[in-house]
Structure 1
Amino acid sequence: MKYILTSLLLLLVHQTFSQSTFPSFLKGTWKQENTSLYEHWDSLNLQTLKGFSYILKEGNMKVSEYLDLTSKNNMLTYTATVVRQNSGKSVSFKQIKAGAELVFENPTHDFPKKLVYKRISDSEIQVEVSDGKGKGETFKMFKQGGEGVKDTTTANPQYDKALAEKLGSDDYGMKSYILAILKTGTNQTADKNELQELFRGHMNNINRLVEEGKLVVAGPLGKNDKTYRGIFILKDVGTIDAAKELLQTDPAVKAGVFELELYNWYGSAALPEYLPASDKIWKIKH
């Protein structure tokens, strides 16, 4: 969890922050003092911020973790999903204090267990990451692009604002998706009529989700030793739990012919743009 140590930007709010106030000021890009570590946050809705942490080296961006800050019942939860750690599982920190200092805790996590954020100014915050017993580190982060702060990002002369807004793109042309891997399930029925009916429902459900704008990629995988059968990429469905519930509308998933592995995935916001073309190149419908 080393990236959590250096990337929890920041959930410090204004001195007047109350538990009913959502810290939307985090939207934008922040940089940790004396490092090449950045975080970028975008507002998904009035209760949710989505972000990611990345290292910038020689102009190349390497994402280290995906972030989520959600308000529910006037309480905030900060969730981090670290790339190539914890088998893709997320770690959440619950708000225990608001005000001049915003505090999150997860006593069961190895490290950190406690996060404290102190606002210094609109463009600077101090973050303390600890084990809850005083052992840890403190560092500052600075908001990029603000007054007196140099923004080192490169502008795109071909940038199409209307298209970017239509696609829900962030400043990097990217957005968050849910990747679903379909695996062979526990229901291994050999009844051909039952299987035929389930797979017909499976295909019909795929088409429905595409029409509803929820599914942008679907396709089978070649034979492999992991029993992986196919993939879906879902957009604008929110959380992994919401995606799991949505995919229960697939008869083959519901019947246990397929099981699911679900992951947060960060990719080009332009991905759905291939769909109109894909509907013009098939000759025979499945």
Structure 2
Amino acid sequence: MKLLVTLLFAASPLAHADPLAPLAWLAGCWAQQGREAGSVEQWMAPAGGVMLGMARTLKQGRVVEFEFMQLRAGADGQLVYIAQPQGRPPTEFKLSSQGEAQAQFDNPAHDFPQRVSYRLVAPDSLVARIEGTMNGKARGIDFPMQRTACP
């Protein structure tokens, strides 16, 4: 009987559901509010078990910051946010909290930030946040963004 239940579950659509589907609201292009035009974060829709993202910040027409990001299942099957700011080696943050329109990822061993989160505040408005301790002091930085057309 146990084998039959296992086989039935393995054949069901739920067994193969994309773990990134609940984060599909993040897909698209997001203009950074209060930043120079062209300062954007862009996420591809979930496919193949991965969401790929990239961001750039412009100042006086020049790129001053950039980052490559991934959302995927880690080796243990738990969702992870992988950040590569300025092309540095990747840092993983494990999913610690997820709601209908929010996700939080933590890595307490990282220098700063130790937490990365995204929260959809309206269909066209998003706040990304990094937080943690730096030099013994708690610090948090919000990045409000508006949905924009992808070029």
Flag whether TM exceeds 0.5 (same fold): yes
Instruction: Specify the alignment match of 1:90 in structure 2.
Output: 90
1:15-164 alignment to 2 at 5 Å?
21-36=21-36, 37-43=39-45, 45-56=47-58, 64-71=66-73, 75-83=78-86, 88-100=88-100, 101-131=102-132, 134-145=138-149, 153=151
Q: Secondary structure at the match of 1:25?
A: helix
For residues 236-279 of structure 1, give each alpha carbon's deviation from its aligned partner in whole angstroms, at most 9, with x where no partner exists: xxxxxxxxxxxxxxxxxxxxxxxxxxxxxxxxxxxxxxxxxxxx
Identity of aligned pairs, percent?
A: 24
Moved more, 33-42 or 125-134: 125-134
Structure with the higher strand share, 1 or 2: 2
Instruction: Specify the alignment match of 2:3 in structure 1.
Output: none
Q: Contact 2:24/2:46 (CA < 8 Å) preserved in 1?
A: no
TM-score (norm 2): 0.67
Shift of 1:112: 0.6
Q: Secondary structure at the match of 1:24?
A: helix
Provide the aligned length of Structure 1 versus Structure 2: 126
1:162-201 alignment to 2 at 5 Å?
none
Shift of 1:31: 1.4
Report the CA distance shift for 1:74/1:125 in structure 2 as closer, same or farther (over 3 A): farther
Q: Contact 2:43/2:52 (CA < 8 Å) preserved in 1?
A: yes
Shift of 1:45: 1.7
Give the Cα separation in 2 of the matches to 1:114 and 1:75: 16
Q: Secondary structure at the match of 1:109?
A: coil
Give the Cα separation in 1 of the matches to 2:33 and 2:144: 6
Give the Cα separation in 2 of the matches to 1:63 and 1:89: 15
| Higher RCO (CA-CA < 8 Å; seq separation 6+) | 2
Report the CA distance shift for 1:119/1:63 in structure 2 as closer, same or farther (over 3 A): same
Of the two, which has the highest radius of gyration?
1
Segments of 5+ residues of structure 2 without an aligned counterpart are 1-18
TM-score (norm 1): 0.38
Letter in 1 for 2:125: E
Q: Contact 1:20/1:74 (CA < 8 Å) preserved in 2?
A: no
